[in-house]
Structure 1
C-alpha cells in the first residue's frame, strides 16, 4: 500500500471513531441530565461505527501481514490514536452510565 492509500484508511478511522466519540459524549450528557431512554440504541450505533473503524484498520494490517509493503504515515497513526482512545472512552462511559442508572434507583 502506498502512503496515499494508508492515509485514506487513516481518514476513515478518524471519521468513524470521531463520530462514535461524539455520540458517546452526547449520550453521557443526556444520561447525566436524567435521560436514559436511548442508551441501548446509541451504544449499538457506537459499536457499529467502531466496527467500521476497526475494519479499516484491519485492511492495512492484513495487507502488511500478507507481505505487502506499507508506507506508514502520520495520518494513519492519528487514526489509530483516535480509535484506541475512543475504544477506551466507550468502556468508561458505559461504566459511568451504569453507575448513574444505579444511583437513580
Structure 2
C-alpha cells in the first residue's frame, strides 16, 4: 500500500471512530446507555485500527525507511487527533448523562 492509500485508510478509520463517538453521545442523550456503550466500543475499535496504521508509519520511519508525507497525511493525522478528542468527549458526556438520568429518577 502506498503512502496515499495508507493516509486514506487512516482517514477512514479515524472518521468511523469519530462518527461512532458522536453516535454514542446521541444514544446517551436519549438515556440509551447500553447502545451508547456499544457505540463507544466501536469507536475505540476503529480508533485502534487507525492508531495501528500510525504506529506502523512511525516504526517504518524509525527503521530509516524514507516516507514522503504530504498534505493528505497531515489531514489524516488531524482526523486521528479529532477522533481521539471525540471519544474522550463522548465518554465524558455519557457519564454526565448517566448522572443526569439518576438525578431525574430521584425527583
For residue 26 of structure 1, what is the aligned residue in structure 2? 23
Aligned: 1:11 with 2:8: yes
1:74 paired residue among 67, 71, 75: 71
Q: After the TM superposition, which segments of 4 or more aligned residues of structure 1 sit over 2 Å from their partners?
A: none
Say if 2:27 and 2:36, in contact at 8 Å, map to a contact too: no
Q: SS state of the match for residue 2, structure 2?
A: helix
Say if 1:6 and 1:72, in contact at 8 Å, map to a contact too: yes
Under a length normalisation based on structure 2, what TM-score does the superposition of the two structures give? 0.88
* Partner Cα distance (1:29, 1:42) in 2: 10
Aligned: 1:51 with 2:42: no
RMSD: 1.3
Aligned length: 102
Further displaced range: 14-23 or 32-41: 32-41
* Partner Cα distance (1:36, 1:48) in 2: 18
Runs of at least 5 residues in structure 2 that lack an aligned partner in the other structure: 103-107
Runs of at least 5 residues in structure 1 that lack an aligned partner in the other structure: none
Q: Tell me which of the two structures has the higher relative contact order, counting C-alpha pairs closer than 8 angstroms and 6 or more residues apart.
A: 1
